[in-house]
Amino acid sequence: MVSFDFDGVLHRDIFPGTHHPLSHYDPNLTPNEPMHQKLREEARTNRVVVTSARCPDTIPIIKGFCQRYHLPVQEIVATCNRPKLPYLQRMGAVRHYDDNPAIATELRNTGIEFVLVKVKSSRED
């Protein structure tokens, strides 16, 4: 299983490094197309899950975003700002894509590969 974070990974972040209010999740989020391509590539040989620090009430919004951009995601997990490691281990993750470098420390020596996604704001166009 391969995991992708949502904010700053599957869409271009509105305010990089901050916690967004729910109102920022609308159909006009700028998709991070290179990461969408990477997700589709991973989905050819792996189960793909979105593992977000968001709370469960945002799952329908994330699901809608993934459907709109035809992202082959099998599951969406919302950790509600709890550490992602227990969720990733339980699901059998081999790799996790995230824009938060602190997650690298959390995953160190766990056997789960961490891939840092360069943060780019939707305002950088």
61-96 pLDDT per residue, tens: 899 999 999 999 999 999 998 999 999 999 999 999
6 vs 77: CA distance, rounded Å: 10
CA pseudo-torsion sign 17, 36, 115, 45: positive
Question: Can you read off the two tokens belonging to residue 55?
Answer: 């709370």
Q: How many other CB atoms are there within 10 angstroms of residue 53's CB atom?
A: 19
Average pLDDT over every residue of 47-57:
93
pTM attached to this predicted model: 0.88
Query: Domain 2-15+25-124: what homologous superfamily?
Result: HAD superfamily/HAD-like (3.40.50.1000)
Task: Say if CB 51 and CB 79 are below 8 A apart.
Answer: yes
What are the extents of the domains in the chain?
A: 2-15+25-124
Mind listing the pLDDT tens digit for each residue in 8-46? Answer: 899 886 665 555 554 455 656 788 999 999 999 999 999
CA gap 53, 117 in Å, rounded: 16
